[in-house]
Structure 1
Amino acid sequence: MRTIKISLAIMAVAAVSGCATTGDGASWKCSAQGLANSHYTGSDIAMIHLQGFSTGGSYKVTQNAQGTEATGVTANGTPFKCVK
């Protein structure tokens, strides 16, 4: 019985490890003055939530030629940048 539990634990660790992302799946980090929260995955839209607002909004971004940086401006004129 103990052998079965150990085997199941090893299989669970292997399954979770297989979910790790590398390469193009690298995460993006966004920055802006007063940034409370953000979410960006490399598309043409970023979700930016600034302090002082109850929710965030979706804003169009422009990526650089290398695809490693995306910039945009929120509705109140705050510029933001997301870097891979």
Structure 2
Amino acid sequence: MHPKQLSLIALTTIAISGCATTGDGASWKCSAQGLVNAHYTGSGTAMIHLQGFSSGGSYTVTKNAQGTEATGTTANGTPFTCIKTQ
């Protein structure tokens, strides 16, 4: 692959990574202090990548009773929240 192709793939991934879709048409938007990238599909884990780290990690989430919010904490203690947007 050419460097330009890799750059395009990286930019596309970054542009869409803050939101993830599930099979039911729902989208999720994750937030955390220093968030670089996130991916959450409504399952029991979310991928969270924070500034200062070369890659993200997979972290367990707890969903609220309505299934519209998922929260968790990264390995360095940073809390994150993923909100169902649709």
TM-score normalised to structure 1 length = 0.72
- Report the Cα distance in structure 2 between the residues aligned to 1:60 and 1:25, rounded to whole angstroms: 22
Please say if 1:82 is aligned against 2:82: yes
* 1:68 corresponding residue in structure 2: 68
- Report the Cα distance in structure 1 between the residues aligned to 2:25 and 2:63, rounded to whole angstroms: 16
- Report the Cα distance in structure 2 between the residues aligned to 1:78 and 1:39, rounded to whole angstroms: 16
**Structure with greater helix percent:** 1
- Report the Cα distance in structure 2 between the residues aligned to 1:50 and 1:33, rounded to whole angstroms: 8
Q: CA deviation at 1:24?
A: 3.1
* 1:47 corresponding residue in structure 2: 47
Identical aligned pairs, as a percentage? Answer: 84
The RMSD of aligned alpha carbons is 1.5
Matched residue type, 1:32: A
* 1:27 corresponding residue in structure 2: 27
- Report the Cα distance in structure 1 between the residues aligned to 2:47 and 2:25, rounded to whole angstroms: 18
TM-score normalised to structure 2 length = 0.70
**Deviates further, 63-72 or 23-32:** 23-32
Q: Any gaps of 5 or more consecutive residues in structure 1?
A: 1-20
Q: Any gaps of 5 or more consecutive residues in structure 2?
A: 1-20
**Structure with greater strand percent:** 2
Question: 2:24 is paired with a residue of what secondary structure?
Answer: helix
Runs of 4+ in 1 over 4 A off after TM superposition: none
* 1:56 corresponding residue in structure 2: 56
Q: Whose Rg is larger?
A: 1
- Report the Cα distance in structure 2 between the residues aligned to 1:49 and 1:67, rounded to whole angstroms: 23
* 2:11 corresponding residue in structure 1: none
